[in-house]
Amino acid sequence: MTTTADRLPHALDAPEVAERLDGRRPAVFLDYDGVLTPIVPRPEDAIMSDDMRAVVRALAQRCPVCVVSGRDRAVVSELMGVDDLIVAGSHGFDIYDPARGPIVHEASQGWEGLVAEVTERVRAAADDIPGTLVEPKHASVALHDRHVADADRPRVAALVEAVLAEHPGELRVTPGKFVHEIQPKIDWNKGKAVEHLLEVLDLDDSGVVPIYLGDDVTDEDAFRALVARADAGRPAGVGILVIDPEDAPSRDTSATAVLATVDEVGRFLDGLAR
Ligand SMILES: O=P(O)(O)OC[C@H]1O[C@H](O[C@H]2O[C@H](CO)[C@@H](O)[C@H](O)[C@H]2O)[C@H](O)[C@@H](O)[C@@H]1O
């Protein structure tokens, strides 16, 4: 069941969040861009603040904390300035636990050649479209168009369509903020990655409440996965959509509560860490 962003309670004072926790142990999953750092014009400038780093570190002392990002794993770790957390990079396709090593799921394998070929194709074609930025990643290629002139946007859309058409049934595009993420079309996403992590980390029991904070459409897979836990007789998790409801009142979501800004995320995580 979904609702819209403007109907969600605020996570800093939502009884729904306190009720679900109710003496249980949280396991916290954090998206990166737009959650731990504000959205900025250039991807390489989204560096996590010292204050947020301190909060995340304090929280990780108290409960399991995993980062689930569309970014490449090494990139997100560097931007965070933290290298001892479990990170599911590249939309959950590339998971690494500093204590255990790589956490692999067979469903998320087997696309490497395809991604390399598509990355080169996109890079070459995007050269001709001013303002584009191509971000090659472990399991996808991100074609950013934030700085593309309106007149050239149809060319970006046409490029994405052409690449998809060249690989019928093999690729999908996931939406983002001024970015087209071209990924292998396989049954894997941030929600599957969170479910897999809960199982592998032995957190899949009734004493644990997973909490997921995210802002993008791709984070909805994780929100849905947390809601679906109740169908299996486990406590439903808490999905927190990070968005200003005034900016996107009709955004359809499976989240439980909302936080409007990255500062509010810091306050919420700080509260959990205490
Ligand atoms: O899953 P996330 O950790 O939220 O990553 C989503 C994408 O974030 C980055 O792009 C977005 O943020 C940039 C920095 O604020 C912004 O400049 C860009 O316009 C946004 O689309 C990142 O570059 C992508 O690889 C991630 O998939």
Q: Long-range contacts for 99-108 (Cβ within 8 Å, ≥24 apart)?
A: 100/200, 103/196, 103/197, 103/200, 105/188, 105/192, 105/193, 105/196, 107/186, 107/187, 107/188, 107/192, 108/139, 108/186, 108/188, 108/192, 108/193
The length of the chain is 274
Question: Is the C-beta atom of 48 inside 6 A of ligand 1?
Answer: no
Q: What confidence tens digit (pLDDT) does each residue in 229-272 have?
A: 988 888 889 999 999 988 999 999 999 999 999 999 999 999 99
Q: What is the pLDDT, as a whole number, of residue 68?
A: 98
31 is catalytic: yes
CA–CA distance, 195 with 212 (Å, rounded to integer): 12
144 lines ligand 1 (CB under 6 A): yes
Q: To which CATH superfamily is domain 3-107+188-273 assigned?
A: HAD superfamily/HAD-like (3.40.50.1000)
Quote the ligand 1 centre to 123 CA distance (angstroms): 18
The protein residue whose alpha carbon is closest to atom 24 in ligand 1 is 71
d(CA 233, CA 30): 24
Read off the pLDDT of residues 23-51 as tens digits, 9 standing for 90 and up. Answer: 899 999 999 999 999 999 999 999 999 99
Cα separations (Å) of 32 from 54, 74, 99, 132, 134? Answer: 15, 13, 21, 22, 19
Residue range(s) occupied by CATH 3.40.50.1000 in the chain: 3-107+188-273
Ligand 1 atom closest to the Cα of residue 177 is 21
Closest ligand 1 atom, residue 34 Cα: 4
Q: Which of 6, 31, 51, 263 is catalytic?
A: 31
Residue 46 CB–ligand 1 contact under 6 Å: yes
More confident residue, 72 or 19: 72
Cα–Cα dist 52/49, whole Å: 5
Where is pLDDT greater, at 234 or 54? 54
Closest CA to 176 of 4, 29, 34: 34
Determine what percent of the chain is predicted with pLDDT higher than 70: 100
Please enumerate in sequence order all residues whose Cβ is within 8 A of that of 255, keeping only pairs 6 or more positions apart, or say none.
8, 220, 223, 239, 240, 241
d(CA 247, CA 224): 22
Mean pLDDT of 52-77: 97
Q: What's residue 75's pLDDT?
A: 97
For the chain, residues classed under CATH 3.30.70.1020 are 112-184
Give the mean pLDDT of 123-131. 98
216 Cα to the center of ligand 1, angstroms: 9
User: Could you tell me whether strands 25-30 and 171-175 are parallel, antiparallel, or unpaired per DSSP bridges?
Assistant: unpaired
- Would you state the pLDDT for residue 106? 83
Ligand 1 touching residue 31 (CB < 6 A): yes
Q: What pLDDT, on a 0 to 100 scale, did the predictor assign at position 231?
A: 86
Instruction: Give this complex's ipTM.
Output: 0.99
How far is the C-alpha of 245 from the C-alpha of 44, rounded, in Å? 27
What mean pLDDT do residues 98-105 have? Answer: 93
Q: Tell me, what's the pLDDT at 237? A: 94
pLDDT per residue as tens digits for the range 75-95: 999 999 999 999 999 999 999
- Mean pLDDT to the nearest integer, 98-114: 89
Q: Which DSSP string corresponds to 82-113?
A: --SSEEEEGGGTEEEETTTEEE--GGG-S-HH
pLDDT at 147 over 90: yes
The Å distance, Cα 246 to ligand 1 centre, comes to: 21
Fold of 112-184: Alpha-Beta Plaits (3.30.70)
3-state secondary structure of 23: coil
What pLDDT is attached to residue 87? Answer: 98
- The tokens describing 108, both together, are 């998320």
